[in-house]
């Protein structure tokens, strides 16, 4: 990745002792759009970097620590984030307010700030060409595989596995595009693709304190808006699907499509309700084509559905269209047993709007991870 | 229970072969308030009985079948409910539109209507004095114990275990009071106590297709509104807590109190968010005093909280008040290990409003029951 340098350090924040500090140095001050969790209980790093985002819109460097969320750590947490930004700025001769700081990991433990600042010294003294896989590995926490993706002029890396939810949860994503964009267009494109990707996935419906998505314009290519949108959608959606596939203990990715709705918002809300239904998730885990649970979830939003007209499919097997189709059940069961990415379709038969949400099943492993993961 | 008769029958709707048809005969036409699930995917029996509720407000008899939800069964399901009401009316010489019909059980299988009508014949030919425990047993499905409760002049029975959620889920409740009330007051009292009881409990956040709560005024005592409210709250809250305690695989009841909020609605929404958080539920299952997850759930509603002022308690152990209290963690852990009914308190320190929500933990047993329960 030309002109993009990374530095890696180890502050001992992860039990594994693996690298946990990542510095990304951009070639110059770049237009950057940042989106953050909507949770009111925000990490110190998020509060700090939101301040940076409001003040000016160009970035020169990105700093991520993993293994400690720097959250619930009081005002000291904000101060720690500022010290980390200043350290990067001092070492690389940058303005401190062009450095964005992100954290992910355990909530409620103060950062061992001296060790972190030392590790930043190490990371900034050995910069090298960006390697997406390595960058993804450094920021990972409970991830079971590194997540990165490339299109012609757009590429990025992300982390996230548990606690993923509609409003972005314990998810960090950094995407870079060579296309030259003004801030306003960049931010619009960013909001749009995040809505279709990170804000349309769910693992357990819980909202994180630390999520952030960053889209940086490197400005080395003249803007081709059509190509940019296609590439950004490709990269963001691929990263989002990797996060869902890595849902804690997941054995199936579930793609829920609500079609033929009167409103896009309605299609989205109903898809989200099905995606978040624990009963649907456990049914898929049990390979049970339980269309009744799908319909119960679809019917539980504020938007009316007509139970005598709606159609429910699992794969291409029609299970319900105002009445049950018992003969399709065994084929749908075979489909759940044999296919890794499950399609559930709710056809409202009333309009033309569609939305797709991505979810995963939930089984014993999820309970194990979340009942035994310590504070 | 003077003047209240029940009849019991068996239509073979339960795998166990246990009784599954309950007829309750009221002494005369009684003022009755009925509240139903807000799910748009309603059972045939719910659609039918909502029609009855709209047409006239007095009831003479109640019919419940358990083991089959009569839901997702198309327009035939509504017709079956009507046939069941007519059968009761014909056998007991009543008006058919004074008979309310309720169903609970598996979704999507047509009722074996001939067997059900035969069982109604049996049930109506051997009426006897109401026994709350027996009535509760007949309407039970996945319940592990019968749920009933008595106060001086108010008493009732209920069923419900899995799939319980804020808007009443696979929960049926029938409460009778001797106090003589006009319909309007009865309905107001009913809505108020349901809000504080059945609508403030959650097991998995999923909303059912069949829920109903019925409050009947037997009219044998002059109204004492204070006594009625106290007794109704006592009976409804006790039934609701029994349902939570019977949450599929639950080992702990969790009582979440949000206090000192500016608005009652805000206290309720935040309590609900904590109550529904899978991460909080699995943490309690793992006996982990994870206040970070509580705070993350509290911060994820539309209502702002101030993370530097809010206090989090587990039991009476203060774990966070703008900063963590690490020394309290081991005491909170001991509390989680030794107490069956867990108190979580979120003190917003901004106003005077309070709301309490009841939830349960979620462990391996929940997954087992819901992954292996067939369509």
What are the pLDDT digits (tens) for A28-65?
A: 999 999 999 888 899 999 999 999 998 867 999 999 99
Tokens of B195: 């809000």
Counts for chain B of helices (H) and strands (E), in that order: 11, 14
Test B278 with A304 for CB contact under 8 angstroms: no
pLDDT in tens, B44-89: 999 999 999 988 679 999 999 999 999 988 899 999 999 999 999 9
Residue B205: pLDDT over 70: no
Q: Could you give the count of Cα atoms lying within 13 Å of B117 in the half-sphere of its Cβ? A: 14
Test A107 with B76 for CB contact under 8 angstroms: no
pLDDT in tens, B135-148: 999 999 888 899 99
| Residues B101/B53, Cβ–Cβ less than 8 Å | no
Residue B279 has its nearest CB partner, among A40, A204, A286, at A204
What pLDDT was estimated at residue A170? 73
What pLDDT was estimated at residue A279? 84
Residue A265: pLDDT over 90: yes
Cβ-based contacts of A76 with chain B (< 8 Å)? 323
What's the gap in Å between the CA of A306 and the closest CA on chain B?
7
Q: What is the dihedral of CA A216, A221, A226, A230, to 10 degrees?
A: -50
Read off the pLDDT of each residue in B20-49 and give the average, rounded to a whole number. Answer: 94
Q: What pLDDT band is residue B373 in, cutting at 50, 70 and 90?
A: low
Closest CA to A171 of A216, A209, A200: A209
Average predicted confidence (pLDDT) for chain B: 91
| Residues A173/A209, Cβ–Cβ less than 8 Å | no
Closest CA to A32 of A3, A61, A8, A6: A61
Residue B160: pLDDT over 90: no
> What topology is assigned to B5-244 in CATH?
3.60.70
What's the gap in Å between the CA of A296 and the closest CA on chain B?
6
Average predicted confidence (pLDDT) for chain A: 91
Residue B367 has its nearest CB partner, among A106, A289, A364, at A364
Closest chain B CA to residue A322: B74
Which one of A36, A37, A41 would you mutate to disrupt binding with B, by most B Cβ within 10 Å of its Cβ? Answer: A41
Q: CA A214 to CA A238: how far, in whole Å?
A: 16
Read off the pLDDT of each residue in B157-165 and give the average, rounded to a whole number. Answer: 71
| Residues A356/A265, Cβ–Cβ less than 8 Å | no
What's the gap in Å between the CA of A131 and the closest CA on chain B?
33
| Residues A46/A210, Cβ–Cβ less than 8 Å | yes
| Residues B208/B171, Cβ–Cβ less than 8 Å | yes
Closest CA to A204 of B168, B342, B367: B367
Closest chain A CA to residue B168: A300
ipTM confidence score: 0.79
Q: CA A218 to CA A226: how far, in whole Å?
A: 17
| Residues B323/A74, Cβ–Cβ less than 8 Å | yes
Marked catalytic residue, from B170, B177, B345, B356: B170
Say how many residues make up chain B.
Answer: 375
- Cα dihedral A53, A57, A60, A66 sign: positive
Q: CA B208 to CA B168: how far, in whole Å?
A: 7
Is B354 known to be catalytic? no
Q: CA A161 to CA A147: how far, in whole Å?
A: 10
Residue B209: pLDDT over 60: yes
Closest chain B CA to residue A274: B206
Residue B192: pLDDT over 70: yes
Share of chain A above pLDDT 70, in %: 93
Marked catalytic residue, from A73, A170, A345, A356: A170
**Residue A351 burial (C-beta neighbours within 10 Å; 0-12, 13-18, 19+):** middle
Q: What pLDDT band is residue A166 in, cutting at 50, 70 and 90?
A: very low
Q: What pLDDT band is residue A168 in, cutting at 50, 70 and 90?
A: very low
pLDDT in tens, B277-302: 888 988 899 999 999 889 989 998 99
Closest chain B CA to residue A370: B282
Share of chain B above pLDDT 90, in %: 74
Which one of A290, A336, A367 would you mutate to disrupt binding with B, by most B Cβ within 10 Å of its Cβ? Answer: A367
Q: CA B228 to CA B216: how far, in whole Å?
A: 12
In what helix (H) or strand (E) does residue B118 lie, and over which residues does it extend? helix B113-124
CATH 3.10.20.340 fits B253-372, yes or no: yes
Residue A304 has its nearest CB partner, among B40, B76, B293, at B40
- Span between the terminal Cα atoms of chain B, in Å: 37
In what helix (H) or strand (E) does residue A237 lie, and over which residues does it extend? helix A225-245
Share of chain B above pLDDT 70, in %: 93
What pLDDT was estimated at residue A169? 46
Ramachandran assignment for A17, one of left (phi > 0), alpha (psi -120 to 50 degrees), beta (any other): left
Residue B41 has its nearest CB partner, among A69, A163, A295, at A295
Size of interface A-B (CB pairs under 8 A): 203
What pLDDT was estimated at residue B40? 87
Closest CA to B348 of B322, B316, B315: B322
pLDDT in tens, A217-256: 999 999 999 999 999 999 999 999 998 888 767 889 999 9
Least confident of A31-45, A80-94, A300-314, B196-210: B196-210
Cβ-based contacts of A324 with chain B (< 8 Å)? 72-74, 108-109
Closest CA to B280 of B357, B351, B194, B365: B357
Test B204 with A372 for CB contact under 8 angstroms: no
Cβ-based contacts of B69 with chain A (< 8 Å)? 292
| Per-domain boundaries in chain A | 5-245, 253-372
What pLDDT was estimated at residue B204? 65
| Residues A309/A322, Cβ–Cβ less than 8 Å | yes
Test A108 with B308 for CB contact under 8 angstroms: no
Tokens of A318: 């029609």
Closest chain B CA to residue A290: B375
Cβ-based contacts of A163 with chain B (< 8 Å)? 279
Q: H helices within B162-224, ranges in order?
A: 183-196
Q: Residues near A241 by Cβ (< 8 Å), separated by ≥ 6? A: A201, A253, A358
Test A73 with B38 for CB contact under 8 angstroms: no
Q: CA B307 to CA A69: how far, in whole Å?
A: 15
What's the gap in Å between the CA of A324 and the closest CA on chain B?
6
- CATH code for the domain defined by A5-245: 3.60.70.12
């Amino acid at each position: 990745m030309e002109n993009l340098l990374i530095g890696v350090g180890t502050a001992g924040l992860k039990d594994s002792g693996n690298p946990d500090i990542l510095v990304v140095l951009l070639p110059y001050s770049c237009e950057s759009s940042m989106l953050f969790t909507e949770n009111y209980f925000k990490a110190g790093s998020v509060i700090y970097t939101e301040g940076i985002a409001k003040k000016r819109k160009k970035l020169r460097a990105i700093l991520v620590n993993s293994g400690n969320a720097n959250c619930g750590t009081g005002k000291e947490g904000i101060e720690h984030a500022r010290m980390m930004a200043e350290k990067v700025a001092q070492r690389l001769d940058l303005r401190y307010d062009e450095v964005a700081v992100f954290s992910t990991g355990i909530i409620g433990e103060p950062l061992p700030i001296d060790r972190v600042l030392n590790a930043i010294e190490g990371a900034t003294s050995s910069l090298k060409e960006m390697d997406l896989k390595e960058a993804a590995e450094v920021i990972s926490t409970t991830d079971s595989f590194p997540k990165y993706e490339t299109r012609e002029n757009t590429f990025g890396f992300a982390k996230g596995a548990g606690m993923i939810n509609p409003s972005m949860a314990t998810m960090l994503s950094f995407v870079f595009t060579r296309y030259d964009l003004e801030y306003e267009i960049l931010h619009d494109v960013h909001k749009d693709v995040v809505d279709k990707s990170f804000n349309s996935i769910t693992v357990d419906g819980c909202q994180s304190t630390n999520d952030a998505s960053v889209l940086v314009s490197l400005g080395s290519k003249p803007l081709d808006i059509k190509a940019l949108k296609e590439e950004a959608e490709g990269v963001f959606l691929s990263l989002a699907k990797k996060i869902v596939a890595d849902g804690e203990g997941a054995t199936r990715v579930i793609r829920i499509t609500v079609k033929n709705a009167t409103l896009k918002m309605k299609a989205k809300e109903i898809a989200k309700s099905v995606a978040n239904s624990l009963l649907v998730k456990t049914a898929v885990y049990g390979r049970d084509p339980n269309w009744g649970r799908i319909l119960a979830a679809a019917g539980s939003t504020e938007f009316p559905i007509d139970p005598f007209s709606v159609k429910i499919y699992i794969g291409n097997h029609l299970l319900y269209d105002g009445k049950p189709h018992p003969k399709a059940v065994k084929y749908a069961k075979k489909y759940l047993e044999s296919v890794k990415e499950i399609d559930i379709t709710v056809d409202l038969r009333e309009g033309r709007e569609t939305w797709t949400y991505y979810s995963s099943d939930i089984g014993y492993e999820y309970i194990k991870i979340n009942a035994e993961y310590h504070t």
